[in-house]
Structure 1
Amino acid sequence: MESTIVCGAMHFVGFEICKELLNRGCSVIAIDNEEQAERFHLEKWLEIGRNANLMRLSIEEIRDEIDSETVCFIPFIDFLRSSEKMNDLLNTVENLIQMENITEYHIIYPSQYYHSFSDMDKRKLHTIFQKNNRIKKVVEYYAPTLYGPWQPNTYLFQQLIEGKPTDDYLDDQRDAIFIEDAVKEIVGNTKATEHGQSLLLRNVQSDTWRNCILFLNESFSMPDEKKMIDNSDIQIINVKEQRSYQEGLIMQMECFKRFYE
C-alpha cells in the first residue's frame, strides 16, 4: 500500500489515519472540504510537519495525481452530526468511484451501526458502491468510542473535559479504544482484508468506557450496561492499547487546554 487517499483529513479519525499512513511511508492525498484556517486545524498540520508524501487536494485536483493503484479510507464516523458535511462526503465518494485507479475502499463506521439498517446515510453510501461494479474491494470497520487528542465534543469524554456533559453523545457505552491504537490496527490490517469483510475493533481490556468516564468524573451517573456485539458474521480485531486509559485521557485534556481554553 503505497498510494492512499483519506477523506475528511481534518477530522478526528481522518487526521489520525493520515498520520499513521505517513509514519508507514505511504503517499497520502488528504481531502477535506473545510476551508477554515482555525488555530487547531493549523496546529494539526504543524504536528505532521513538512512531508513530501502528503498532498492536500480538492476532489477536482485528484484525478491527475492518481497514476497507480490507490487505497481510499473513508472515516464515515467523523461525519455523523452534520448533514451538510455528510452530503459533502457522499458527493466526494461518488466522484472518487469514477477514478479507476482507486481499487480499495476502507470505511470506518461507529460500532453501533453494525446492527443499524435504518440509517439513511449508511444506505446511501452502500448504494453508491453497489452502482459501480469496477471496485475490487470494499471493507467495513466498526469502531467503538475512540478517544484521545482532538476528540470532538460530540463525544461524552470531551463533554466531561469541557464541563458540559449532555445526554446527547456518539459514544458506544460498551467499549472504548485510544484512537492511535485503533487506527494502527485498521491501517495495519488493510492488506490482509478481503472484499466484503466486516471487522469490529474491540479493546482487550474490559470496561474501558466506564473506567474512562469515572476517571473524568467519579460522580457521573452511569447508564445501564449494554451487551457486547457478538455475531459470527463479523470478525473481531482485539486491540491492545499501548498506554493506560488514564494517560490517553490526560493527553486529550492537555490538547483541550492548549487550544480551547
Structure 2
Amino acid sequence: MDKVVIVGVFDFVNFHLCKALLNKGIEVRGVQIETEENEDILVEKRLEIGRNSNFTEVSVKDLTNKSNEKETIVLSVYDLYMKYKENVLQNDFMKNHFLYEDNWDQIIIIVPIQLLGNEIESEANVFINDVINRKRNLNKNIQYLYLPTIYGPWQPDTFMFQHSILAGMDKGKGFRGMREETNDALFVDDTVESIIEVVEEKGPGKYLLQSGEKDQWDLCAAFLRIIGHPSSERTVDRMEDDIIKLTVNRSIPISEALTKQIDHTHRLYS
C-alpha cells in the first residue's frame, strides 16, 4: 500500500486514518465531498495535515480523470452514516465513478456495525448492497471493515460522547437521536492502526473490529457521567457467517483516551 485515496478525507475516522498513513510515509490523495458543516473545523483539519508533503487535496474531477491502477481507495460509509449524510452515497460521483469502475487496485469500505444485519433501511445499506452485488463476480480486492462506536478527538456531535462534552461547555446543540451502536466502543487511534493492519496483511472479506471486552460503551458513558441515555438505533444480536472478528489492541486506558477528546474539544471551542 504505497498510495491511498481517501474520499471524505476530513470526516472523523477518515481524518485519523489519513494522519496515521502520513505518519507511516504513505502518499495520500484526499477529496472532501462537502460533509463538514463547520468551516472553521475544516480549516483546522487542513492546517493539521496540509503541511505534510505526502498529502495532496484533490477534487472529484481529479479522481475521475486519473488512472488509479496502483492506488488503494478508502470510503468511510461509517462517517457519512453517523453524520446523517449518507445521501452523499447516491450522488453521481459515487454511482458512476467511485466504486463502479474497476481500475482501483484495492477498495476499502468502512461501515457502521449497525448495517451488518441489513435490518436498517437507509441509503447507506442500499449503497453497500449494490456494491456487493456489482463486485461479487469480479474477483476484486474489496475489504469491508465494520466498526462499533468510535471515540476520540474530532468526534462529531452526532455521537452521544461528544454531544455530552459540548453540552458541559454550553456549546451543545439539540441531539438528533441515538444512532451509534452501544454494545462496544473503540478509541480512534487504536482503530485506525488496526484498519491499516487489515488492509496491509489481510485478504478481501468482511472484518468486524471489536474491543474483546464487555461494556466498553457503558464504561465510556460512566466516565463522562452520561446517565439515562436513550437506546441505540439497533443492538447487534447476530453476525453474518462470513464476518471475521478481530480484536483491536488498546494502547491507553479509556479515561486517558476520553480525556484527550475532552481536552481537544476545549481547545477547539474555547
TM range (shorter): 0.7 to 0.9
Q: Which residue in the other structure is 2:4 paired with?
A: 4
State how 1:26-65 maps to structure 2 within 5 Å. 26-34=26-34, 38-63=39-64, 65=66
Pick from 108, 111, 120 the counterpart of residue 109 of structure 1.
Answer: 111
1:213 aligns with 2:229: no
SS at match of 1:191: helix
Deviation at 1:97, TM superposition (A): 3.6
1:147, 1:58 → 2: CA distance? 28
Instruction: State the Cα RMSD in Å.
Output: 2.7
| Residue of structure 2 in register with 1:23 after alignment | 23
- Aligned residue for 2:150, secondary structure, equals strand
Q: Distance in 2 between matches of 1:36 and 1:94?
A: 25
Instruction: Give, as a single letter, the amino acid of the residue that structure 2 aligns with 1:161.
Output: I
Match of 1:159 in 2: 163
Q: Residue 183 of structure 2 aligns to which amino acid in structure 1?
A: R
CA apart distance, 1:204: 2.9
Q: For residues 16-43 of structure 1, give each alpha carbon's deviation from its aligned partner in whole angstroms, at most 9, with x where no partner exists.
A: 1111111222111101123878222222
**1:72 and 1:104 in contact (8 A); partners too:** yes
Contact 1:142/1:201 (8 A) holds in 2: yes
Q: Structure 2-normalised TM-score?
A: 0.84
Contact persistence 1:199–1:236 (CA under 8 A): yes
Structure 1 residue 201 corresponds to structure 2 residue 209: yes
Letter in 2 for 1:176: A
Measure the CA separation in 1 of the matches of 2:214 and 2:222.
14
Task: Letter of the 2:15 partner, please give it.
Answer: F
Query: SS in structure 2 opposite 1:180?
Result: helix
Structure 2 match to 1:149: 153
Runs of 5+ in structure 2 lacking a partner?
A: none
- Tell me if the contact between 2:67 and 2:103 (Cα under 8 Å) persists in the aligned partners: yes
In the alignment, structure 1 residue 127 sits paired with structure 2 residue 134? no
Matching residue's letter, 1:3: K
Counterpart of 1:85 in structure 2 is: 88
Match of 2:263 in 1: 254
3-state SS of 1:102 partner = coil
Q: Distance in 1 between matches of 2:55 and 2:109?
A: 21
TM-score by length of 1: 0.87
Percent identity of equivalent pairs: 26
Deviation at 1:135, TM superposition (A): 6.5
C-alpha displacement at 1:93, in angstroms? Answer: 5.8
Q: CA deviation at 1:83?
A: 4.9
Write the letter of the residue equivalent to 2:58: L
